[in-house]
A and B are shown apart, each in its own frame.
Chain A
Amino acid sequence: MLKYFEPNKIFSITSKAPKYVLFLFIILFSIGLTESLFLSPEDYKQSHSVRIMYVHVPAAWISIGIFTTLTVLSIVGFIFKIRNFFLITKSLAPSGFVFCVIALVTGSIWGKPTWGTWWAWDARITSMLILSLFYLMYLLAWRIYEKSDNVLKITTSITILGIINVPIIKYSVDWWNTLHQQASINILSKSTIHESMLFPLIIMTAAFALFSLLIFLMKYNTELIKIKNKGLDRL
């Protein structure tokens, strides 16, 4: 039942979706940018350089979230042999990689005025760099083994290797001494970020999520068109 899906049916929905997603993205992104660049207050310690956070933190969250999604979809797809899940992972991975690089670059720009260094080999930063390398390997695997039957096994293995790194990124600041500070936003205990700064952060995260969704839909549609062109009505 899950095994087969009809590209035509899905395509009729996903081909219309991008314009609505784009519309929502533009609205949220403009609210997020005005909030984070002009309306939100400066920090008592870092003053205006805190504004880099509104790009840095959402980008990091989204890239980690996408990698987790890739892993779950790949594993479920691998166990139950659902080919559609691999079309989804293939289309989702590039935006995750882009956000990972954005998080590293903005982190570096933020580090110079606050810490006094562009780069530090502390656990958080290094594990984030490793995540970007896993993304790179994942994307390259799709390119290299596109035509091979083993492509699904290879990409699934890469996500399994990479997922071990995800909890390390999250808890590195608690397990070891790092230059990077501890988490400010906690689900179980009180967050140590003021509401006026939390609001733009959430808006920007939603905007970045919509942007990933937009890129995903465009890539996914291309994949579906490729399948249709091959003259297959199901996978």
Chain B
Amino acid sequence: MYGHKVKLRFLFIFVALTILALTTFLILKSLEENVIYFQSPSDIKTLNNVKKEKIRIGGMVKESSIEIRNNEVNFIITDLNNELNVSYSGVIPNLFSEGKGVVAEGYLKDKNFFVATKILAKHDENYMPPEVKEALQEK
């Protein structure tokens, strides 16, 4: 039905796309450590040695773990399996609160203690009006 040239061009595009997809997959797979924006407290627990580099830790702020003393904020980041104590002094984003997502950038003191130099609030995929939220909480 179609000419020989058409079939060849189709094959060409098909092979090109396959090669590109595979190459991209391999590159991203090997770069996974750098592609992720933050590590979880569980990742920190499995580390062999504490590195001096700046890293980001993400998770949930543990309920009733925020303590404010002078200019310092202490809280616990949890991924529901493991926990990490964080201390920070500086500007806190509006959405930072207990039970919500957070990403802290800074340095590890040891496997249980993290000194943050920057705090980012992570928000989840739920969007709803305040009335609906209240109705949900009452349930």
Q: Which residues of A contact B (CB under 8 A)?
A: 41-46, 50, 53, 75, 78-80, 113-117, 120-123, 160-161, 163-164, 168, 176-179, 181-184, 192-194, 196-197
CB within 8 Å: A-B pair count: 120
A182 and B127 contact, Cβ closer than 8 Å, known pairs A120-B37, A120-B120, A176-B32: no
A46 and B95 contact, Cβ closer than 8 Å, known pairs A116-B121, A117-B120, A183-B125: yes
Pairs A–B under 8 Å by Cβ, sample size 18: A42-B129, A42-B130, A43-B128, A78-B13, A113-B94, A114-B93, A115-B121, A116-B91, A117-B120, A121-B37, A168-B28, A177-B36, A177-B38, A177-B39, A178-B37, A179-B38, A194-B128, A197-B129
Judged by a CB distance under 8 angstroms, whether B58 is at the interface is yes
- Stretch from B14-22, B47-55, B65-73 contacting the other chain: B14-22
Rounded to whole angstroms, the CA-CA distance of A185 and B103 in the bound complex is 24
B28-83, CB < 8 A from A = 28, 32, 35-40, 58
Cβ 8 A contact of A78, one of B9, B21, B94: B9
Q: Which residues of B contact A (CB under 8 A)?
A: 2, 6, 9-10, 13, 16-17, 20-21, 24, 28, 32, 35-40, 58, 91-96, 100-101, 103, 118-133
Rounded to whole angstroms, the CA-CA distance of A44 and B40 in the bound complex is 26
Q: Which residues of B contact A123 (CB under 8 A)?
A: 35-37
A79 and B95 contact, Cβ closer than 8 Å, known pairs A114-B121, A176-B37: no
Q: Which residues of B contact A113 (CB under 8 A)?
A: 93-94
Whether the pair A164, B133 counts as a contact (CB closer than 8 A) is no
Rounded to whole angstroms, the CA-CA distance of A66 and B6 in the bound complex is 25
Rounded to whole angstroms, the CA-CA distance of A161 and B103 in the bound complex is 33
Whether the pair A181, B122 counts as a contact (CB closer than 8 A) is yes
Q: A117-B118, A179-B58 are in contact. List 19 more A-B contacts (CB 8 A).
A: A41-B130, A41-B131, A43-B127, A44-B133, A46-B123, A53-B127, A114-B121, A115-B93, A116-B94, A116-B96, A160-B17, A161-B20, A163-B17, A164-B21, A168-B28, A177-B36, A181-B101, A182-B125, A193-B128
Whether the pair A115, B95 counts as a contact (CB closer than 8 A) is yes
Rounded to whole angstroms, the CA-CA distance of A160 and B20 in the bound complex is 9
Which residue on chain A has the smallest CB distance to residue B131? A41
A116 and B120 contact, Cβ closer than 8 Å, known pairs A43-B128, A78-B13, A179-B103: yes
Rounded to whole angstroms, the CA-CA distance of A178 and B39 in the bound complex is 10
Cβ 8 A contact of A43, one of B9, B103, B129: B129
Q: Which residues of B contact A193 (CB under 8 A)?
A: 125-128
A197 and B37 contact, Cβ closer than 8 Å, known pairs A114-B95, A160-B17, A177-B58: no
Q: Which residues of A contact B13 (CB under 8 A)?
A: 75, 78-79, 160
Q: Which residues of B contact A117 (CB under 8 A)?
A: 118, 120
